[in-house]
Structure 1
Amino acid sequence: MDDIDERIIKMLNTNARESFATIGKSVDLSAPAVGKRVKQLEEKGFILGYSLRLNHEKLGVNVKAYINLKIHQSSTIRTAYNQIRYLDEVQRCDRITGEDSLCILAYFKSNKELVTLLERISQYGVPNTSLILES
């Protein structure tokens, strides 16, 4: 990876839909040359994919929370992780060090949905919830 690749990645990270022509003007390459570099970056595993950023409030999300989960038994960490990370409300689920085993970021339309998720994951351990006030 060279300086041009780094600049291309930086531009794509800012706007993954940026045209190769616009990127090319910024890095002094043609659009096809940028396309070729992007394809190589994807093939080499530097670019894993592209994502969509949503306005969650417009989609009805009113409650966002971090939930740290202290697992009951260490033998259930992998099971809990594999079950929880695919739940619809869960945006992110990370295995972490310390007393807690998992850190979960989840979005909900209501507090009732949050309570429902807490009841579901309580089978694996003790949740400690922090609501996000502003982000």
Structure 2
Amino acid sequence: MTDLDDTDRAILRALQQDATLEASALGRRVGLSQPAAWRRVRRLRDEGVIVGRRLVLDREALGFGVTVFLGVKLAARARLEEFERAVTAIREVQTVEHVLGLYDYRLRVVARDIADFERVLRRRITALPGVGTIEANVLLSEERRPGPL
């Protein structure tokens, strides 16, 4: 774990809110000069604290009106690597989480509508290697999206 001071934490909070901030604007926000802010960000990247930037898109605006969480239990003797490789190739599958509990994996799947989701489920997901049982939960509303740590 990297030792972070209050300025590092302020930089991370600011970048989580707006990853497009330039070093000069970031420096003004956290009370540093542009070069000092740039050096801090570079150090945080070099130490693996900052691992990338991401563009967040509005799924509904792009026509993906249905989100479904799937609990997937693999069949006995299924190969995890084989399943993971195959499931990550399905573009509608947004997240793949290997979890402990009733299911082996939790998937977040987006689709245009329920009929589109059914097509993805029948043709792509149930055909994955090692799939045993699947439980689906349709997202009704999302009150809070994953946010700053």
**TM-score, with length taken from structure 1:** 0.92
Cα separation, partners in 2 of 1:74 and 1:100, compared to 1, 3 Å: farther
TM-superposed CA distance for 1:122, in Å, is 1.9
**1:44 counterpart = 2:47:** yes
Corresponding residue for residue 110 of structure 2? 107
TM-superposed CA distance for 1:21, in Å, is 1.8
TM-superposed CA distance for 1:86, in Å, is 2.8
Structure 1 segment 1-135 matched on structure 2, within 5 A: 1-119=4-122, 120-123=124-127, 124-135=131-142
Structure 2: distance between partners of 1:100 and 1:22: 45
TM-superposed CA distance for 1:74, in Å, is 4.2
Unpaired runs of 5+ in structure 2?
143-149
Name the % identity. 25
| Structure with more helix by fraction | 1
TM-superposed CA distance for 1:16, in Å, is 0.6
Q: Deviations over 1:2-43 (max 9, x none)?
A: 221111011001111122222211221111211111111111
Which range moves more in the overlay, 47-56 or 76-85?
A: 76-85
Structure 2: distance between partners of 1:32 and 1:4: 14
Q: Would the aligned equivalents of 1:66 and 1:131 in 2 still touch at CA under 8 Å?
A: yes
Which range moves more in the overlay, 61-70 or 19-28?
A: 19-28
- RMSD between aligned alpha carbons? 1.4
Structure 2: distance between partners of 1:112 and 1:121: 14
Look up the SS of the partner of 1:64 in the other structure: strand
Which range moves more in the overlay, 59-68 or 20-29?
A: 20-29
TM-superposed CA distance for 1:67, in Å, is 0.5
Unpaired runs of 5+ in structure 1?
none
